[in-house]
C-alpha cells in the first residue's frame, strides 16, 4: 500500500461490501492483524476478502477481528495458534468471522474471554447430557469465582459453539430446528446448574424436598430463541418423613433462588428471565405445588389457555421422578381439553386478544405476535393438535414443526399448506434469531435502521439490495401465514369435532353402529358399510375422511333422510376422492363440509344433480359460488359451451350441462335460506330463458348451414304462465308460444315451413334425455290450443286475435313475456296483444260471467281423480289457481286505467291491486300467504323427493323433509299440513269474496 496515496483505498477492499471502506482500510493496517496479511496489496490471495464478504456485517467482523487479535496476542499461549488458524483459509477462520460479523455481543465475550475461541472453531453438536455435565461440573467447582458468574461464563462459551454452527450452516433455515433444540438443551442445562447452586446456598435443608422444574413454552417445545424468557412451572414432593408444608417451603426457597441465579445481572451479565407466570393462578398462585395440587387445580379451575400452554410441558431439571409424575398427571387432561365447552371459541378469542394488546407502534413490525407472525403458525398448529390429538396420538408433540409435520401426514392440513407454513415459520424464526443474536437482546421486532436491515438481509443470503430484499421476503411470508391462519384457525370443522364425544370422534365400528342408530339412520348396518368403505385403509384420502365423517354424521342426522345423504356422499367421494382439491375443500374451506352434508341429506334433487356433476362441490367452498348467475352470464356460458360442439344435439346437451350446474347452485342457495321465493322464481326463469335462447340459436344456425342460405324468417319464443311471470319453480314446465315473421322478400309458405321445422327441432332437443332434468316445452296455450299450428306468423296472430280471440286467451296473455328470439319481434308482439290483455273499458258483464264459468268448470273437470280439494296446491280450494284467477280478473277489469297492474307477476299485481283499493288488505294478505306457501311447498317437494309434488304429502317422511326445507323443526310435517289447510281456507274465503263479488 506504500505506493498509493495516504487517502487511497485498494480496490480489493472496496469490493468487499464495507459500509466504510476507508475505515476498513485503516483497520487492515492495524498491527494486531499484521501477521494475518503478508501482502496488504493482495489481501484476497489468502481468502480474507472472500471470508469477510461472506458475513452479514463485514465492518463489524473486521473491527471484531482486530479487537479479538489484540486480546489473543496478549495471551502468550494463544498468540501462535490463533494467528496460524486465522491467517489461512479454513473452517476456523470462517466460523470466527461469521460470529464476529453477526453478533457484537458474542464478539465482546470473545474479547473478554479469548480462550473461548476454541468453542467457536471446534464447535460440535452436544447432547443435553453433555451440556448438563459441563455446566454442572463448572458450578460444582467454581474456585475463587462466584458460582453464578461461572455459570454465566460457561453458558456463553456453549452459546458461542451453537452460534458458530448456526451461522456457518449452508442452509440455516433448514437447520433451524437443530439450533433451537440446542438452545433449549442449553437452557435445560443452565436450569439444572442453577438448581445445584441454589441447593448449595440452602444447605442441608435442600434434602427435605424433591423439586422438579417443568419447562413450558419454547423451552418445553425444544424450540428456544437465542435470548428469551424461560417459562417454567415448579412442582415438589416431600422427601421421606418430611411434612408437605415444610417441603413446599424449602422448595419455594430453592425455586426463588434458581430464578434469581438465572435472571439477576452480575459483572458477567445475566442469562435470561425465568418466568413462572404459567403456573396455576398465575402470579397470584403459590410458586410451588405438589403434583396432587396441580392435578386438583387443572381438574376444577383451569382455563382453556392453560391446557394449551401445557401442550409443551416437559420435565427438564430437578427430581426426574417428580417431573415424570407431573407430566403423567397433566398430559391426559391436555388431550381432553378440546371437549370443554366453547374450547375452540376460547382459543380463537385468546389469539384475537393477543393481537389487540400489541402496541400500535409495533403492530406492523411484530415477527412474533402480529398478524402473519409466529403466533399465527403456533396457534393454528396447537389448535389442530388439541382438537384432533384426542383421538390421534401421532399429533402429541410440543414442537411446532413436528406438530405441523404430523398434521400434514395425518391429512389434517394440506401438504401444500403445511409446506407453506413450515417455510414461513422457519424463515420467521431465523429472522428472529438473527435480530436477537446481534446484541443478545430479547426482541421480536423487525428493525427499521438501514444498517440493521442490511445486516439482516445479508444474513439471509441477499447480496443485491439486502435491506429491501429481506423486507419483501418477510412481507410475502406474512401475507401467506395470515391467509392460511385465517383459513385453518377459524375452520368451522374444528368446533364441530371438538364437540364430539370420545367414542364419536374415534368412530370405531362398535361406536359407529351405536351412534348411527341413535342418530336416526334407518339402516345402520348399510350406513356402517358406507363408513367402512370411506375410511378403510392407510391412504391420505381415508385419513381425511376419518376426520370428516364423525362430524358429518351429525349433520346428516339433522335432516330427514340421513341414509340418503351418506349414500350420496359416498358416491361423490368415490368419484372425487382421488382429486387434489375435493377433500381439501371439505376440510379447509369455510362451511363446505357442513353445507354439503345438509344438502345431500335434505335434497335428493340436489344430490342427484351433484352425482351427475360432482365437480360442482367447488361451489360450496365460496360464498359467491352460491349466488345464482344473471341471465346474461348464464347465456354467455351456454353459448360458449354450445359453440364448441359441431352438431345440434351435442351443442344443446353442452348448454344443458351448464343448466345442470346452475340448477345445483340455485338449489343449494335455496336450501341454505339465501334465496327468497321471488328471487328463486327469477333465477329459475332466467335459466330456462337462457336455455331456450341458446337452443333456438343452435337450431337456426343448423338450418342455415344445411341450406347454405340465411334463415327465411325471424323467430320469437314467448313465455306464458309461470315462465312468462318470472315465477318458475323446480317442477315447472316451459309454457310458451312460438311466433315468426318472414323476412322481406321471403316466401310466406316456405318461411312457415322453416319456422315449423326449427320449433319442432327445438322441442325435440330439449326433450332428449340429458345431463339435466328434462325441460318440457308446452305450447298448448297457443291459439286454438293443441289443434292449432305450433307456430304462427305475427300476421296470423293478428288475424286470429282480431276475429276469433276468446276471453281465456286474453287471460292467458296477461303473463305473456318474450323470453328468447328476436327482440324487435318481441316488442311488436307485445304491442299486438296489449289491447287484448288490457282491454279498453275493462270487462263486460258477459265476459266476467264467462271467466267465472270457466273457473267453475276447471274446478270440476281438471282436478285429478282422488285428489283432495283441501290440499291440492294448484286446483284445490284456496290454491294457486284461486289466487291467480282473482288477480287476472282484476287485471283484465282494471289494467286499462291503472298501468301498475300491467305486470306478468302474480304477487306484484296483487300488491298493486291492494294499493289501489281493489282488494281488501285482509283478503290480499290471505291470498298472498296461500300462493307463497303453495309455491314454496311445491318447490320443497321437488327438492326433497326429486319429483313433482302436487298436494300436501300424506307420507310422514316426505312431510317432515319438506317442513325442514321450509325452516321448521324436525317432526313438523303434520303441523305443516295443518298450516296449509288453514291458510288455504282463508284464501278460499278471500277468493270467493273478491272473485264472485267484485
The 10s digit of each residue's pLDDT in 762-789 is: 999 999 999 999 899 999 999 988 889 9
Neighbours of 375 (CB within 10 A): 21
Rounded to 10 deg, the angle between the 921-945 and 880-894 helix axes is: 130
Determine which helix (DSSP H) or strand (DSSP E) holds 314, and give its type and residue range: strand 314-318
Q: Of 384-398, 448-462, 478-492, 708-722, give the lowest mean pLDDT range.
A: 478-492
Nearest to 534, CA basis, from 479, 466, 583: 583
pLDDT digits (tens, 9 = 90+) for 7-65: 456 666 766 778 888 888 888 888 888 777 654 544 555 567 678 888 999 999 999 99
Q: What is the DSSP letter of 805?
A: -
Q: What is the pLDDT of residues 364-418, one digit of tens each?
A: 999 999 899 999 999 899 988 988 888 889 999 999 999 999 998 888 888 888 9
- The Cα 364–Cα 899 span in angstroms is 61
User: How far is it, in rounded angstroms, from Cα 331 to Cα 837?
Assistant: 79
Which candidate, 426, 529, 510, places its Cα nearest to that of 178? 426
The reported pLDDT for the residue numbered 89 is: 84
The predicted pLDDT at position 443 comes to 92
Which residue would you say has higher pLDDT here, 683 or 622?
683
894's grid cell: 282494471
Assign 497 a pLDDT band (cuts: 50, 70, 90): low
Q: In 708-843, which residue ranges form alpha helices assigned H by DSSP?
A: 721-724, 748-767, 794-803, 807-813, 823-837
Which pLDDT value is given to residue 4?
42
Residue positions counted in the chain: 998
Distance CA 452, CA 434 (A): 10
Q: What is the pLDDT of residue 974?
A: 87
Which pLDDT band holds residue 6 (cuts at 50, 70, 90)?
very low
CA gap 88, 67 in Å, rounded: 19
Query: What residues contact 393, with CB distance under 8 A and at least 6 apart?
Result: none
**Local structure of 275: helix, strand or coil:** strand
Is the pLDDT higher at 645 or at 545? 645
Q: Is 426 helix (H, G, I), strand (E, B) or coil?
A: helix
> Out of 300-314, 370-384, 587-601, 823-837, which region has the weakest mean confidence (pLDDT)?
587-601
> Does the pLDDT value for residue 695 go beyond 80?
yes
Distance CA 604, CA 564 (A): 8
Mapped onto helix, strand or coil, the DSSP state of residue 862 is: coil
**Looking at residue 447, what is its pLDDT?**
94
150, 139 Cβ separation under 8 angstroms: yes
Q: What percent of the chain has pLDDT over 90?
A: 69
Rg of the Cα atoms in the chain: 41
Q: Name 36's Cβ contacts closer than 8 Å, sequence gap at least 6.
A: 46, 48, 69, 83, 86, 87
pLDDT at 503 over 70: no
With a cut of 80, say whether residue 490 has pLDDT above it.
Answer: no
Cβ–Cβ under 8 Å, residues 603 and 609: no
Mean pLDDT of the 598-613 span: 92
Closest CA to 220 of 181, 192, 194: 181
Helix runs in 536-630, H state only: 540-557, 562-576, 582-588, 592-602, 604-612
What is the residue-wise DSSP string for 839-852?
-TT---HHHHHHHH
Q: What is the pLDDT of residue 355?
A: 87
Which of 22-31, 577-586, 754-763, 946-955 is the most confident on average? Answer: 754-763
Q: Whole-number mean pLDDT of the chain?
A: 90
- Of 16 and 883, the structure prediction assigns the larger pLDDT to 883
Q: Per-residue pLDDT averaged across 873-897, rounded?
A: 95
Please give the span between the terminal C-alpha atoms of the chain, in angstroms, as a whole number. 117
Residue 5's pLDDT band (cuts 50, 70, 90): very low
Quote the pLDDT of residue 647. 93
Q: In the prediction, which pLDDT does 998 show?
A: 54
**Cell matching residue 797:** 296472430
Q: Is the pLDDT assigned to residue 864 strictly greater than 80?
A: yes
Q: Which three cell numbers stand for residue 918?
A: 281493489
Cα 288 → chain centroid? 42
| 3 state DSSP class of 279 | coil
- Report residue 309's pLDDT band, with 50, 70 and 90 as the boundaries: very high
pLDDT of residue 700: 95
- 160-192 residues labelled b (16+ CB within 10 A) or e (exposed): bbbbbbbbbeeebeebbbebbbbbbbbbbbbbb
979 contacts: CB under 8 Å, gap ≥ 6: 933
Tell me the C-alpha distance between 230 and 965, whole Å: 56
Least confident range from 4-18, 584-598, 975-989: namely 4-18
Element spanning 189, H or E: helix 176-202
CB 107 within 8 A of CB 64: yes
Nearest-angstrom CA–CA distance, 137 and 664: 73
Cβ atoms of residues 27 and 62 within 8 Å? yes
Q: pLDDT-derived band of residue 528, with 50, 70 and 90 as boundaries?
A: confident
Chain center to CA of 253: 50
Residue 504 pLDDT class (50, 70, 90 cuts) = low
Cα–Cα dist 33/27, whole Å: 8
What is the Cα–Cα distance from 424 to 479, expressed in whole angstroms? 10
**Sequence-distant (≥ 6) Cβ neighbours of residue 63 within 8 angstroms:** 27
pLDDT value of position 508: 64
Q: Are strands 777-778 and 734-742 parallel, antiparallel or unpaired?
A: parallel
The three grid cell numbers given for residue 312, joined into one nine-digit string: 409443551
The grid cell for 713 is 324468417
What's the CA gap between 831 and 716, in Å, rounded? 14
pLDDT tens track for 893-944: 999 999 999 999 999 999 999 999 999 999 999 999 999 999 999 999 999 9
Phi, psi of 740, deg, nearest 5: -135, 165
Give the closest residue to 183 by CA, choosing from 403, 452, 442. Answer: 442
- Name which of 253, 252, 259 is nearest 288 in CA terms: 252
CA distance 553 to 558: 9
pLDDT of res. 42: 47
pLDDT in tens, 713-736: 999 999 999 999 999 999 999 999
CA angle 478, 483, 487 (to 5 degrees): 145
CA distance 373 to 444: 10
Instruction: Quickly count: other Cβ atoms within 10 Å of residue 347's Cβ.
Output: 23
* Set of cell numbers at residue 497: 369435532
Look at 536 and 273; give whichever has higher pLDDT: 273
Contacts of 202 (CB under 8 A, 6+ apart): 250, 253, 254, 257
* Packing angle, helices 104-112 and 415-439, rounded to 10: 50
What pLDDT score was predicted for residue 2? 37
Q: How confident is the model at residue 188 (pLDDT cuts 50, 70, 90)?
A: very high
In the numeric block, which cell numbers belong to residue 590? Answer: 369455510
Do residues 397 and 311 touch, judged by C-beta distance below 8 A?
no
- DSSP secondary structure string, 833-900? HHHHHS-TT---HHHHHHHHHHHHHHHHHTSPTT--TTTBTTTSTTSHHHHHHHHHHHHHHHTTT-GG
pLDDT at 1 exceeding the cut of 50 = no
Evaluate whether 890 touches 909 at the Cβ level (below 8 Å). Answer: yes
Cell numbers standing for residue 263? 435472571
pLDDT for residue 589 is more than 90 = no
Q: Cα 946 vs. chain centroid, distance in angstroms?
A: 31
Q: Is the pLDDT of residue 709 over 60?
A: yes
Taking only the tens place, the pLDDT of each residue in 218-247 is 999 999 999 999 999 999 999 999 999 999
The whole-number pLDDT of residue 903 equals 97
Helices (H) and strands (E) in the chain, counts: 45, 10
Q: Residue 716 in contact with residue 755, Cβ under 8 Å?
A: no
Write down the pLDDT at residue 25: 81
Q: Give the per-residue pLDDT at 473.
A: 94
Amino acid at each position: 500500500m506504500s505506493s498509493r496515496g495516504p487517502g487511497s483505498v485498494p480496490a480489493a477492499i472496496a469490493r468487499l461490501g464495507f459500509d466504510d471502506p476507508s475505515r476498513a482500510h485503516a483497520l487492515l493496517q492495524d498491527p494486531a492483524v499484521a501477521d494475518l496479511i503478508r501482502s496488504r496489496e493482495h489481501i484476497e490471495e489468502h481468502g480474507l476478502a472472500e471470508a469477510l464478504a461472506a458475513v452479514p456485517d463485514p465492518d463489524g467482523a473486521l473491527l471484531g477481528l482486530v479487537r479479538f487479535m489484540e486480546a489473543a496476542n496478549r495471551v502468550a499461549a494463544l498468540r501462535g495458534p490463533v494467528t496460524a488458524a486465522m491467517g489461512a483459509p479454513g473452517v476456523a477462520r470462517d466460523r470466527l468471522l461469521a460470529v464476529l460479523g453477526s453478533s457484537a455481543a458474542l464478539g465482546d465475550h470473545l474479547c473478554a474471554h479469548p480462550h473461548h475461541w476454541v468453542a467457536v472453531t471446534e464447535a460440535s453438536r452436544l447432547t443435553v447430557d453433555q451440556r448438563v455435565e459441563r455446566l454442572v461440573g463448572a458450578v460444582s467447582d467454581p474456585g475463587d469465582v462466584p458460582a453464578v458468574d461461572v455459570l454465566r461464563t460457561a453458558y456463553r462459551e456453549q452459546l458461542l459453539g451453537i452460534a458458530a454452527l448456526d451461522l456457518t450452516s449452508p442452509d440455516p433455515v433448514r437447520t433451524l430446528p437443530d439450533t433451537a433444540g440446542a438452545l433449549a438443551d442449553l437452557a435445560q442445562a443452565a436450569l439444572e446448574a442453577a438448581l445445584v447452586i441454589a441447593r448449595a446456598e440452602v444447605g442441608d435443608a435442600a434434602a427435605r424436598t424433591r423439586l422438579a422444574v417443568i419447562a413450558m413454552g419454547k423451552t418445553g417445545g425444544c424450540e428456544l430463541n437465542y435470548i428469551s424468557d424461560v417459562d417454567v412451572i415448579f412442582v415438589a414432593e416431600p422427601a421421606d418423613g418430611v411434612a408437605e408444608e415444610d417441603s413446599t417451603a424449602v422448595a419455594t426457597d430453592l425455586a426463588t433462588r434458581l430464578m434469581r441465579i438465572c435472571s439477576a445481572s452480575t459483572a458477567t451479565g445475566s442469562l435470561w428471565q425465568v418466568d413462572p407466570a404459567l403456573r396455576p393462578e398465575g402470579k397470584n398462585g403459590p410458586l410451588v405445588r405438589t403434583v396432587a395440587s396441580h392435578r386438583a387445580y387443572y381438574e376444577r379451575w383451569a382455563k382453556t389457555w392453560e391446557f394449551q400452554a401445557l401442550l409443551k410441558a416437559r420435565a427438564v431439571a430437578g427430581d426426574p421422578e417428580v417431573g415424570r409424575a407431573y407430566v403423567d398427571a397433566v398430559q391426559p387432561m391436555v388431550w381432553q381439553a378440546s371437549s370443554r365447552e366453547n374450547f375452540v371459541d376460547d382459543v380463537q378469542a385468546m389469539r384475537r386478544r393477543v393481537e389487540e394488546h400489541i402496541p400500535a407502534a409495533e403492530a406492523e413490525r411484530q415477527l412474533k405476535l402480529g398478524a402473519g407472525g409466529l403466533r399465527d403458525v403456533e396457534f393454528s398448529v396447537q389448535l389442530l393438535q388439541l382438537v384432533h390429538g384426542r383421538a390421534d396420538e401421532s399429533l402429541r408433540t410440543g414442537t411446532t414443526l413436528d406438530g405441523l409435520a404430523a398434521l400434514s401426514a395425518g391429512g389434517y392440513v394440506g401438504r401444500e399448506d403445511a409446506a407453506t407454513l413450515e417455510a414461513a415459520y422457519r424463515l420467521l424464526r431465523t429472522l428472529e434469531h438473527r435480530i436477537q443474536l446481534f446484541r443478545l437482546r430479547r426482541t421480536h421486532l423487525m428493525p427499521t435502521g438501514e444498517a440493521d436491515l442490511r445486516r439482516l438481509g445479508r444474513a439471509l443470503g441477499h447480496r443485491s439490495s439486502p435491506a429491501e430484499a429481506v423486507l419483501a421476503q418477510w412481507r410475502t411470508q406474512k401475507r401467506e401465514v395470515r391467509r392460511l391462519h385465517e383459513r385453518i384457525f377459524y375452520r368451522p370443522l374444528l368446533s364441530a369435532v371438538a364437540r364430539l364425544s370420545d367414542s364419536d370422534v374415534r368412530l370405531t365400528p362398535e361406536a359407529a353402529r351405536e351412534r348411527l342408530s341413535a342418530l336416526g339412520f334407518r339402516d345402520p348396518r348399510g350406513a356402517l358399510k358406507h363408513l367402512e368403505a370411506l375410511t378403510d385403509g392407510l391412504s391420505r384420502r381415508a385419513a381425511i375422511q376419518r376426520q370428516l365423517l364423525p362430524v358429518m354424521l351429525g349433520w346428516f342426522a339433522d335432516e330427514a333422510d340421513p341414509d340418503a345423504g351418506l349414500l350420496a356422499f359416498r358416491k361423490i367421494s368415490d368419484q372425487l376422492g382421488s382429486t387434489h382439491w375435493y377433500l381439501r375443500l371439505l376440510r379447509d374451506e369455510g362451511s363446505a363440509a357442513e353445507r354439503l352434508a345438509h344438502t345431500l341429506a335434505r335434497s335428493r334433487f340436489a344430490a342427484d344433480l351433484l352425482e351427475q356433476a360432482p365437480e360442482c362441490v367447488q361451489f360450496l367452498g365460496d360464498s359467491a359460488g352460491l349466488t345464482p348467475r344473471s341471465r346474461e352470464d348464464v347465456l354467455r356460458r351456454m353459448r360458449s359451451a354450445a359453440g364448441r360442439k359441431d352438431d345440434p344435439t351435442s351443442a344443446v346437451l353442452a348448454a344443458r350441462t351448464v343448466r345442470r350446474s346452475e340448477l345445483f347452485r340455485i338449489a343449494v342457495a335455496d336450501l341454505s335460506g339465501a334465496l327468497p321465493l321471488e328471487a328463486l322464481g327469477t333465477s329459475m326463469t332466467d335459466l330456462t330463458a337462457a336455455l331456450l335462447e341458446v337452443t333456438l340459436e343452435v337450431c337456426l344456425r343448423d338450418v342455415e348451414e344445411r341450406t347454405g342460405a340465411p334463415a327465411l324468417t325471424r323467430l320469437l319464443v314467448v313465455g306464458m304462465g309461470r315462465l312468462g311471470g318470472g315465477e318458475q319453480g323446480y317442477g315447472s314446465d316451459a309454457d310458451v308460444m312460438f311466433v315468426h315473421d318472414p323476412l322481406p322478400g321471403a316466401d310466406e309458405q316456405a318461411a312457415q315451413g322453416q319456422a315449423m321445422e326449427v320449433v319442432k327441432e327445438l322441442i325435440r332437443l330439449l326433450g332428449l334425455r340429458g345431463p339435466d332434468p328434462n325441460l318440457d316445452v308446452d305450447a298448448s296455450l297457443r291459439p286454438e290450443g293443441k289443434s292449432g299450428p305450433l307456430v304462427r306468423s305475427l300476421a296470423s296472430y293478428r288475424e286470429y286475435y282480431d276475429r276469433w280471440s276468446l276471453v281465456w286467451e286474453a287471460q292467458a296473455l296477461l303473463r305473456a313475456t318474450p323470453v328468447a328470439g328476436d327482440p324487435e319481434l318481441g316488442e311488436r308482439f307485445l304491442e299486438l296483444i296489449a289491447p287484448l290483455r288490457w282491454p279498453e273499458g275493462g270487462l263486460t258483464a258477459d265476459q266476467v260471467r264467462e271467466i267465472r264459468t270457466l273457473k267453475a268448470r276447471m274446478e270440476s273437470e281438471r282436478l285429478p281423480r282422488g285428489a283432495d280439494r283441501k290440499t291440492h296446491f294448484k286446483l284445490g280450494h284456496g290454491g294457486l289457481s284461486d289466487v291467480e284467477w282473482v288477480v287476472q280478473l282484476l287485471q283484465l277489469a282494471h289494467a286499462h286505467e291503472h298501468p301498475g297492474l300491467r305486470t306478468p307477476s302474480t304477487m306484484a299485481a296483487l300488491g298493486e291491486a291492494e294499493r289501489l283499493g281493489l282488494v281488501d288488505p285482509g283478503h290480499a294478505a290471505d291470498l298472498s300467504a296461500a300462493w307463497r306457501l303453495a309455491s314454496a311447498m311445491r318447490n320443497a317437494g321437488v327438492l326433497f323427493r326429486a319429483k313433482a309434488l302436487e298436494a300436501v304429502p300424506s307420507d310422514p317422511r316426505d312431510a317432515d323433509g319438506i317442513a325442514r326445507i321450509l325452516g321448521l323443526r324436525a317432526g313438523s310435517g303434520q303441523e305443516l299440513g295443518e298450516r296449509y289447510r288453514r291458510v288455504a281456507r282463508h284464501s278460499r274465503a278471500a277468493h270467493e269474496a273478491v272473485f264472485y263479488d267484485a
